Amino acid sequence: MIAQIKAELLKVRSTRTTAGLLLGMVALILLFVLLTGLLSSVASLSSAENQRQLLSIGALAGVFSALAGVLLVTSEYRYGTIRPTILFTPSRSRVIGAKVLAATLAGVGFGIVGEALGWAIGYAILSGRGITFALNSGDCVQLALGGLAGIALWGAMGAGLGTLLRNQVGGVITLLAWGFVVSPLLFGLVPSVGRFMPSYAQDSLIGLTTNHLLPPAAGGIVLVAWTALLASAGLALTARRDVT
Amino acid sequence: MPPVVVAESLTKRFGEVLAVDDLSFEIDSGTITGFLGPNGAGKTTTLRMLLGLAAPTKGHALVFDRAYGELEYPALRIGAVLEATDFHPGRSGRDHLRMLGQSVGVPDSRADEVLALVELRDASRRRVKGYSLGMRQRLGLAAALLGDPELLVLDEPANGLDPEGVRWLRDFLRRFASEGRTVLISSHVLAEVAQTVDQVLIVSHGRFIVESSLEELTARVSGVVRVRSGDSPRLAAALIAESLKPTKSDEHTLLVPGATSARVGDIAFAAGVAVHELATEGSSLEEIFLQLTSDEQS
Ligand SMILES: Nc1ncnc2c1ncn2[C@@H]1O[C@H](COP(=O)(O)OP(=O)(O)O)[C@@H](O)[C@H]1O
Ligand SMILES: [Mg+2]
């Protein structure tokens, strides 16, 4: 299993896809932190909740971590490398399991870069504009580590989703539509259901206090449950389907 | 020595299509077997079942006495290439091999070895995007060889290869088999493999129509001689006297199965019949193959 994970991590590293995703992630986080940090008034940025929002922008890395997870699986179907992969490792559960774990580890990488960037720029803006830091250390740990955990789990969810769908374009579109269209709509219309969507579970995990969110621990459990659900559904399907 | 590959009543149905219909066969070690049949005959599907990629509807296939998926590290005993194009275009050939090798504990140095073996060393760090079809084919072969296998399974390996590539592959497979290892290659063009294989399995519509050594196959349909002469009736009588069975094609032409043109020419000469045209027909393996597979279809 360790060998398989190593192989999967090499797949992540050996194309330019990952570098491209990292670049996109850095650009997007930079843009959002700068816009939020520079365009908001000093008064607004002085509230703890708004500082939390600013410093949680690094969690956008979850989008890229999830994309990397989707691509780790779907590019194998797109380019046919799934055939040699399964020939070398016929155990579908070992392959899928290793992909989910490798995507989680890659997600940790995305998370470290994204969080560090979001925090560094966000904190620099706050102190540069002479705003008093309003978060205590417990808040900060929850924000940073919760963010990191969420981003890593997004990698695993992406791999699970990719395994379910197999189609690369379909997987990417489904992921983005789910995260940016379906979940916000659902949360807006039926918050009692919408808060169980992974993006809102992640918000609760990192300690955002938006109305209707789950408690942080529950948010964490929901994220893990989504990961387990997607990965095991993907595995169940893969085990039954022929590799063509 | 037990057979390397055993298929028993192997069957695969895709909805209405019976792609593989109750195939049973064995392949002995040290042989090169050609698995032949027209497009859509069920070759790829059979190989996929053999290699654990597809589940049979009925029956089973064993490699080295076990189902492929139950072997500990199958890639260390069986090398296979199903498609010549199974690479991520943005990954280097070497990284493609490394990632496969790492999954079964094969060191990166082995990747360099097989790259040298298939003469891809210079291109190994370039992205596959820039490889020619021939290079991709050799990279696929390199992947199959990573685990230093005893059995090589190649699906249509000659597809798209230039004559030099075909020759290179043939020499390579001969060398491979001469070390006591086993090769199973499929093709829809008999001529591509005729000079390579020891025995042939010919399928059409998912069923065997021929299972024999190459010599048997050649002997079995040793050609039809077409002879145009000045006196067909007299020549026919002479041929029948030599226990051949000529049939009339047109007024001046006879078809003589199971004979060589030399023999027919000699008989005509002895009988004093002037020969106007003498030709061997249907004697190329390709024609035999077409004849056999079209018989099956009609
Ligand atoms: N995944 C599949 N789904 C449906 N039909 C298939 C599938 N794979 C193969 N077939 C059908 O099975 C038959 C045999 O195909 P195949 O094994 O690819 O033949 P060959 O390799 O000899 O050309 C064909 O009729 C083909 O259309
Ligand atoms: Mg085929």
Statement: residue B295 has pLDDT above 70: no
CATH code of the domain containing B278? 3.30.70
- A85 and chain B in contact, CB less than 8 A: yes
Q: Both B155 and B203 in a single domain? A: yes
Q: Both B161 and B214 in a single domain? A: yes
What would the pLDDT profile of B42-83 be if each residue is shown by its tens digit?
A: 999 999 999 999 999 999 999 999 999 999 999 999 999 999
What would the pLDDT profile of B232-250 be if each residue is shown by its tens digit?
A: 999 999 999 988 888 888 8
Given a contact cutoff of 8 angstroms between Cβ atoms, the answer to whether B73 and B146 are in contact is: no
Q: Both B69 and B205 in a single domain? A: yes
The reply to whether A121 falls in a domain is: yes
Question: The domain containing residue B230 runs over which residues?
Answer: 222-282
Confidence of residue B285 (pLDDT cuts 50, 70, 90): low
The reply to whether B289 falls in a domain is: no
Q: Both B105 and B237 in a single domain? A: no
Q: How many domains does chain A have?
A: 1
List all residues 6 or more positions away from A181 whose beta carbon is below 8 Å from its beta carbon: none
Alpha-carbon distance B263 to B261, whole Å? 5
The reply to whether A212 falls in a domain is: no
List all residues 6 or more positions away from A58 whose beta carbon is below 8 Å from its beta carbon: A29, A33, A111, A114, A115, A116, A117, A118, A119, A122, A147
Q: Both B154 and B234 in a single domain? A: no
Statement: residue B296 has pLDDT above 60: no
Q: Both B29 and B162 in a single domain? A: yes
Q: Both B206 and B88 in a single domain? A: yes
What would the pLDDT profile of B126-162 be if each residue is shown by its tens digit?
A: 999 999 988 999 999 999 999 999 999 999 998 878 8
User: Which of A18, A72, A79, A87 should one mutate to test binding to chain B, selecting the residue with the greatest count of B CBs within 10 A?
Assistant: A87
Taking CB atoms and an 8 Å limit, are B48 and A17 in contact across chains? no
From the CA of B46, the nearest ligand is: 1
Q: How many domains does chain B have?
A: 2
The reply to whether B54 falls in a domain is: yes
Identify each DSSP E strand in chain B by its residue range: 5-14, 17-27, 32-36, 58-63, 78-81, 151-155, 182-187, 199-204, 207-213, 224-229, 247-250, 253-257, 275-281
Q: Both B57 and B133 in a single domain? A: yes
Give the residue from B178, B201, B219 where a domain finishes.
B219
What mean pLDDT is predicted for residues B178-207? 88
Q: Both B255 and B226 in a single domain? A: yes
The reply to whether A216 falls in a domain is: no
Residue tagged 């190649």 (tokens) = B154
Alpha-carbon distance B120 to B149, whole Å? 19
- Model-level ipTM above the cut of 0.90: yes
List all residues 6 or more positions away from B189 whose beta carbon is below 8 Å from its beta carbon: B158, B286
What would the pLDDT profile of B252-276 be if each residue is shown by its tens digit?
A: 999 887 777 888 999 999 999 999 9
Shortest distance between the Cα of A115 and any Cα of chain B, in A, equals 28
Summary mean pLDDT of chain A: 96
From first to last of the 244 residues of chain A, give the pLDDT tens digit: 999 999 999 999 999 999 999 999 999 999 999 999 999 999 999 999 999 999 999 999 999 999 999 999 999 999 999 999 999 999 999 999 999 999 999 999 999 999 999 999 999 999 999 999 999 999 999 999 999 999 999 999 999 999 999 999 999 999 999 999 999 999 999 999 999 999 999 999 999 988 899 999 999 999 999 999 999 999 999 999 999 8
Answer yes or no: is the C-beta of B40 below 6 A from any ligand 1 atom.
Answer: yes
pTM of the model: 0.88
The reply to whether B201 falls in a domain is: yes
Residue with the bigger pLDDT between B224 and B119: it is B119
- A3 and chain B in contact, CB less than 8 A: yes
Q: Both B38 and B113 in a single domain? A: yes
Question: The domain containing residue A35 runs over which residues?
Answer: 2-172
Residues near ligand 2 ion, CB 5 Å cutoff: B 44
